[in-house]
Amino acid sequence: MTTANTNIDIDARFDYARDVIRDAGERAMAYYDGTAGDLKIEIKDNPLDMVSIADKNVEAIIRDRIRDAFPEDGFLGEEMGIEKGANECLWVIDPIDGTACFVNQMPTWCISVALMVGNEVVIGLIYHPCGKELFAAQAGKGASVNGEPIKTTDVASVGEGVMGIGMSHRVKSDTITPVIGGLLDREGMFIRNGSCALMMAYASAGRLIGYYEPHINPWDCMAGILLTREAGGWTNDYLAIPNVLEEGGPILSAGAHVANELCEIIGLKR
C-alpha cells in the first residue's frame, strides 16, 4: 500500500515498525525488571507526572531504528519533541505510557507508536510488554492483537460493560466528576489503570466499552484512535481540534452502538 499522490510505502513501514516496537519493549522490560540498572527519575509538572531514563532511551531506540530505514520521515515524541522530516510522514511516539505504573512495578504500561501521513493516521501500534500483546492496525486493513482480528464491543448501553477513564492535573476535577456520576447513575462502571494507550487498546479489542479522557496529548492516543476505528468503533475527531498536536485535547473512543450514550453523558457531539 502506498498513499495517494506519494510514493510512501505504508506496508513496509508497518512491517518494520512492528519489529521495532517489540525490540523497544524488550529494552523497556530490562529496566522494568532491574537488569538494565537503576532507574533515574525526573519529575515534570507534579509528582505523578514523571519521566525515567527508560522513557528517554526507549524513545531514542525507536527514533534511531526508524530513521535508519526511513530517513526522510519526521517524529513527534513525548520526551524528544518534534523533528520534522522531508516528507509527509510523522511518527508519533510514547515510549512508556504509564510511567508512574512502570516505576512503581505495576504492569499497566505500554509503548505506543503511530504514523501520520499528512492529517491521516495510517499505522497504529500499542505493545504491552508485560502481557506480550501487540495491538496493531493499518488504515483500511482492520485491527488485530498478536495477529488475531479484534473488534470493539457490540453493547448498546453503558450498563453492559466497563468504561475506561483517564484524568490528569492539566484540567480541573469538575471536568471528570460529572462523567463518572453519569456512568454510575446509568448503572455503568469504570476503571483507570494509569495508561491511556493501553485502555484504548483494550477498548479496541472489546474488553472495555470505551475510553474517555478530558485532555490527552497526541502521543498517548494517536495509535488508539486508529485501532478503535479499524476495529469498528468510533472516536471523536481528535485531529480536527485546533493545535491538537501541540496542545492536546479530549478523546473519546467507544463501541459504535454505545457511542451515542457516552457522548450524551460526556456532552460531546457525535
pLDDT higher than 50, residue 270:
yes
Say which amino acid occupies 90.
L
Mean pLDDT for 29-51 is 60
Does one domain contain both 131 and 36?
A: yes
Does one domain contain both 90 and 166?
A: no
Does one domain contain both 75 and 145?
A: yes
Q: What is the pTM of this model?
A: 0.92
Does one domain contain both 16 and 136?
A: yes
Task: Label residue 217 by pLDDT band (50, 70, 90).
Answer: very high
Does one domain contain both 95 and 162?
A: no
Q: Cβ neighbours of residue 147 under 8 Å, at least 6 residues apart?
A: none
Using CA atoms, how far apart are residues 43 and 194, in angstroms rounded to an integer?
16
pLDDT higher than 80, residue 151:
yes
Which among 125, 149, 173 is the end of a domain? Answer: 149
| pLDDT tens per residue across span 45-104 | 554 444 578 888 999 999 999 999 999 999 999 888 899 999 999 999 999 999 889 988
Using CA atoms, how far apart are residues 104 and 123, in angstroms rounded to an integer?
30
Cβ atoms 198, 126 nearer than 8 A: yes
Mean pLDDT for 151-156 is 97
Mean per-residue pLDDT over the chain, rounded: 91
Q: Mean pLDDT lowest for which of 24-33, 196-205, 209-218?
A: 24-33
**In this structure, what CATH number is given to the domain that contains residue 50?**
3.30.540.10
| pLDDT tens per residue across span 134-143 | 999 999 999 9
Using CA atoms, how far apart are residues 249 and 175, in angstroms rounded to an integer?
12
Domain span at residue 53?
10-149
